[in-house]
Amino acid sequence: MLAMPQFAVFFSDGAGFGIEMVQALDAAHAQDIARAQHPAGRLSAVPAELLDGQDRHRLLKAWLRGVARNYEDTPGSS
């Protein structure tokens, strides 16, 4: 039996933000799994191996800046 790949799901919601590791079939499935714990949050999933050797705090900070920028660019968000 093959092991499911692992994904890093970046999340931001009213309770906080972070990176959650999830085993899933693909990135969309990983987001579906994380959505159960973060129903109103913003989510992004990437293969976990892309984070190997990376500073996760720096990656999370950059992702949060992108989320904030996208939010500011959304009509009606001001």
Instruction: Indicate the pLDDT class of residue 2, thresholds 50, 70 and 90.
Output: confident
Q: What is the mean pLDDT of residues 29-45?
A: 94
- Domain hosting 66: range is 6-73
Say if 17 falls within a structural domain: yes
- pLDDT at position 35 is 95
**Residue 1 resides in a domain:** no
Contacts of 44 (CB under 8 A, 6+ apart): 9, 10, 31, 63
pTM of the model: 0.83
User: Domain tally for the chain?
Assistant: 1
Residue 78 lies in a domain: no
- Over residues 47-61, the pLDDT tens digits come to 999 999 999 999 999
